[in-house]
Structure 1
Amino acid sequence: MTGHQTARLIAPTSRLHRAWLDAHAEWGPGRHEDGFGLTAADEIDSATGFAGWIRRMAGESAQTTYRWIVDDSQVLGGIALHHQLDDHVRWAGHIGFGIRPSARGHGLAGWALGCMLERARRLGMDRVLLVCAAGNNASARTIRRGGGVLEGVVDTELGPAQRYWITL
């Protein structure tokens, strides 16, 4: 893994079921990784369940752009852009991203964020909210490098969170 030079952003696909499960396993147990649109109700282990999850995300494409960060046939991370400011976005942000542990530190998150900010511009958005856990220095640094300006820290059900706005 040498960074984002050979990585691509692609729409989620059932074709990468095994590769996605490998990335998912690397995160380990606990909270689901950001940027994938995965909910506790999604069944991802079986081919049928995984295909249903992919169909659900495709059906949400008018409201949310989901992209996977892939290199060759390896899933390195995910990023999602929510197009409207609603209650979910006020809590979680317009853009969420996650990079699998073995792929971190190579600039992938910043590169993917830049691509998603360009998508937001093309959609006519004038600013986007990004939220990360307080203490998640890597995400905060990525957001600031992308133009994020700290609005403040708020308490959430998951603990303190930093809220950043990026003006497009």
Structure 2
Amino acid sequence: MNAKPVSFSEVTTEGLDSSPVAEALAGLRANEARYFSTKYKHTFAVAPTSEASEELEWVEEILRSERDIVPTSRALEVSVNEVEGIYWVHVFYESGLAVNVLWTREDGGKRAVGFKLSEGMDVPPELSSFKFARQRSKLEGEIRGSYFVIKGDHPLP
């Protein structure tokens, strides 16, 4: 996978230009990059979905099988990270939705799906049953987020 590092000091919409909320989605992506840099000293990088199709399928299979969720928007980019025994996959969708799967490799560890909505986007119909908490971000403005705990087993890609 030919992933490009995401800068949180120079926010760019590269790779997200087709999104109607490209600026906000780029800020959300930069916010993730800052989190990984600050918490883990790790470089957050993204690749086009064509280069991470297995990881995208893994995330979307978890959404389907755990909660019968099928994203209605086109996936634009994927980020795959492994830090401190945690496998993370982030998917950035054209609508402004960002989905991340946190999968602790150790048995009994945390396994969850997180959703973040870019500022300016409506809650997608497939996520209407979720309650979204609000948080402020210098990079993105207001981020609305929600999550659920993964109950089943989903072999890593």
Q: TM-score range by the shorter chain?
A: 0.3 to 0.5
Bigger-Rg structure (1/2): 1
Structure ranking higher in helix proportion: 1
Which structure carries more relative contact order (alpha carbon 8 Å, separation 6+)? 2
TM-score relative to the length of structure 1: 0.35
TM-score relative to the length of structure 2: 0.37
